[in-house]
Amino acid sequence: MTVQEAIQIRQSVRSYSNRPIEKEKIVELLEAARIAPSAGNRQEWRFVVVTDESKRKKLARAAAGQTFVGEAPCVFVCCAETDEHRMRCGQLCYPIDVAIAIDHITLRAVELGLGTCWIGAFHEDEVKYLLNIPEEVRVVELLTIGYPAESTLRKKGRHDLGKIMFYEEWGKR
């Protein structure tokens, strides 16, 4: 599979089989994150791997009751151990860097036959309490991971390229 093929077929999966993910594959996903680029090579990302069913169900409640979060055989709680460093442009590093690492995970997951879904709707304080995450650590995203329950490959609704790009300056097509 090429990277382009993985990009084309990656989609959010919200229905998983109950087949557990092999530990070797979990390690491969985390290795994909580990080698992701980060601003100033700070590598602030940290991941809590949750496979325990009881904890996953509690994570689902912390994720605004999204039951599929608890049904996925694995949830990565994607965190940042950060000092709130900003890039020269003024943007915080950690949300961008964690997002890049997550994207590496999602594309590697496609190659391994796994599905994923980014979860941004959650109560950070509840997730921290549940998983004993220190107060100073930020929980950036949850990522469900598992074998899709069925093939739901569908065409993604995306804007045409002409709508999202400009040449040389804003508004110039």
Task: Identify the domain containing residue 77 by its residue range.
Answer: 3-164
Residue 56 belongs to a domain: yes
Q: What is the pLDDT of residues 155-167, one digit of tens each?
A: 678 898 888 899 9
Residue 149 belongs to a domain: yes
Q: What is the CATH number of the domain that holds 12?
A: 3.40.109.10
Residue 39 belongs to a domain: yes
Q: Is the pLDDT of residue 109 over 70?
A: yes
Residue 83 belongs to a domain: yes
Percentage of residues in the chain with pLDDT exceeding 70? 97
Residue 107 belongs to a domain: yes
- What's the pLDDT at 155? 66
Contacts of residue 6, defined as CB under 8 A and 6 or more positions apart, other chains included, come to 107, 110, 111
Q: What is the pLDDT of residues 53-98, one digit of tens each?
A: 999 999 999 999 999 999 999 999 999 999 999 999 999 999 999 9
Give the residue carrying structure tokens 């949850």. 142
Residue 169 belongs to a domain: no
Mean pLDDT of all residues belonging to the chain: 94
Residue 172 belongs to a domain: no
- What's the pLDDT at 156? 72
Percentage of residues in the chain with pLDDT exceeding 90? 80
Q: Is the pLDDT of residue 153 over 70?
A: no
- What's the pLDDT at 9? 85
